[in-house]
Copies of this chain bind each other. A is one copy, B any other.
Amino acid sequence: MTGSPRFRFAVNVLPRPGILDPQGRAVEGSLVHLGLAGVSDVRVGRRIECTVEAATEAEARRTVERLAAELLANPLIEAHAIELLGAIAGAAIGAAVDAAAGESSR
């Protein structure tokens, strides 16, 4: 590992509006069994979190954009959004990445 900064990103992938979402319909179908009222418009997608080591945030974001567009999402039926979760300047990074992961899963 070098001393380059690292950036923690999340990629949210969701079915595009109008695209059939059978998992969302399955969740809606379970609401009555849970006794939950007032929930609607459920969409089920994926969330991918990753750490990128790069010289700048812009370079890291380009890497995540390629990852999302070429591997994580199917652009015909899914839309994706990229979130920066945190940045870590230099060494002693493992603990900070763990902390960021914990934060996002509170």
Contacts and interface: CB of A to CB of B under 8 A. Distances in A.
A104 to B, nearest CB: 6
Contact of A41 (B31, B46, B51, B102): B51
Contacts of A44: 46-48
Interface of A: 4, 8, 10, 12-14, 16-17, 24, 27, 30-31, 34, 36-54, 60, 63, 66-67, 70-72, 79-81, 97-98, 101-102, 104-106
Contact of A66 (B14, B27, B34, B48): B34
A2 to B, nearest CB: 9
B105 A16 contact: yes
Nearest to A54: B38
